[in-house]
Amino acid sequence: MTNRIFYTKPSITQLETDYATDAAATGWGAHCYDYINRFERDFKTYLGSGFAIATSSCTGAMHMGLAALGVGEGDEVILADTNWVATVSPIVHLGAKPVFVDVLPDSWCIDPSEVERHITPKTKAIIATHLYGNLCDMDALLEIGQRTGIPVIEDAAEAVGSVWNGRRAGSMGTFGTFSFHGTKTLTTGEGGMFVTNDAALSERVLTLSNHGRARGQTKQFWPDEIGFKYKMSNIQAAIGCAQLERIEELVARKREILAAYMVRLSALPGISMNPEYSGTINGAWMPTAVFHPSTGTTREIMQQAFEAANIDARVFFYPLSSLSMFEDRPENVNAWSIPGRAINLPSYHDMSEADIDRVAATLLDVAGGRIYHNRTALRQSV
């Protein structure tokens, strides 16, 4: 039996182990925030952002950011139908209504024209999710935000290392959020980051993140309001500091793996992968193959083939509007069509060339055979 190829796992070196050990040994009492402060400082420097607040998750960062903007009952928040549930759950928790719009067929990210079409007097925010390292059209979205006065928020959970015309993903909107889950390019196991250039918004989120205790409050254990508990631990931040020192190496390896798949799959028609347009850099968090409908290749066929080859198969996100907890079923053609003919490909940092070959060969054997069969059948029917 060949070794199992996992879809992802973190890259952990002696540096991460040393920092985590130091945090466990010394990061208590007066030093309990040392690595957290360092991680926040170094991350905002890397991102080119004014403020950064480490959180327990990207979901928590989004929840506090939306709350700080005043999102609540009766409000609407526009977001891509193609998304993980973590992006929509804070909207629901705050009592607002999520408005699911379609995505572009090439980037799989939110369609700016659909955003514009769904704006109403109730629209409180627009969330731009950079999917699998792919970038939203930030020029178009920011223009809409500036013209309408509606905040544009970047869900950059999957976009560490991605760059839009010289600006890093997450640094352009009213605020941005990041995930450092164990599957991500930069990981702290669990964890996230809230970033913004707005000093007042940063201070508001900082208060919310600490049970509503304002930084300037002089009374001990006196909350000024009901807040949240979405703080990162010092040990998690220590791992994050080590990962951030290696960020260029980590992103470069992800990009190498995506490029290797593209070379191997380029001979087969009907497959598209993560795009990288002029002026952008794709951080390549999750290489993804999307098959043209004419190939006849489906998600289920690829799942079966990968399982037979002892390879993890991770499916493309289902449209949020397909979930049972939501009643609206908008006609978002791309968001509903793409998942049924797409598959995420393994991309952990220490994959060997042989591993990449095996994944690509499995995909080519199945998809290539179906394309040949479909073409043959078409010729015979003429």
Q: Which residues are identified as catalytic?
A: 184
Instruction: Say how far apart CA 340 and CA 293 lie, in whole Å.
Output: 9
Cα–Cα distance measured from residue 180 to residue 236, given in angstroms and rounded to the nearest whole number: 10
Tell me which amino acid residue 235 is.
Answer: I
Token pair, residue 248, equals 């260029």
Give the span between the Cα atoms of 225 and 75, in whole angstroms. Answer: 22
User: What's the CA gap between 165 and 173, in Å, rounded?
Assistant: 14
Q: Which residue has the tokens 């998690």?
A: 236
363's tokens: 């995909």
Rounded Cα distance between 287 and 255, Å, is: 9
Q: Are 174 and 196 in contact (CB under 8 A)?
A: yes
Query: What is the four-CA torsion angle of 282, 288, 293, 296, rounded to 10 degrees?
Result: 160
Identify whether the C-beta of residue 313 lies closer than 8 Å to the C-beta of residue 302: yes
What does the alpha-carbon distance between residue 365 and residue 311 come to, in Å, rounded to a whole number?
14
